[in-house]
Amino acid sequence: MFSVLGKIKTYAIGVLLAVIPMIYVLGTLFGRKAAKIDRAVDATEAANDATKFYKSIAEHESDNRISTRSDLIDRLRKDGL
């Protein structure tokens, strides 16, 4: 009776030992893929933010009503950089 349970335990341990390296390899492959996608999304968002920033700069490029320090402060409070 104990020998049957011992054989089952041995086979279960053998299966786990065979599966663990495959799980590790698959995890690293999927992890690299996910990290690559995350980097691409971050780069796209950064490019979009830069585009929005330069568009807002271009909108205010012809705005030359800054003559004093208080005008500059008012503009920064209203529009930001």
Q: Do the Cβ atoms of 42 and 34 come closer than 8 Å?
A: no
pLDDT of residue 49: 94
**Chain position carrying tokens 């663990």:** 20
pTM of the model: 0.51
Per-domain boundaries in the chain:
2-79
pLDDT surpasses 90 at 75: no
Give pLDDT tens digits for 10-69: 999 999 999 999 999 999 999 999 999 999 999 999 999 999 989 888 876 666 677 788
Cα distance between the two ends of the chain: 80
The residue ranges of DSSP E strands in 12-61, in sequence order, are none
Cα–Cα distances in angstroms (integers) from residue 51 to residues 41, 47, 48, 55, in the given order: 15, 6, 5, 6
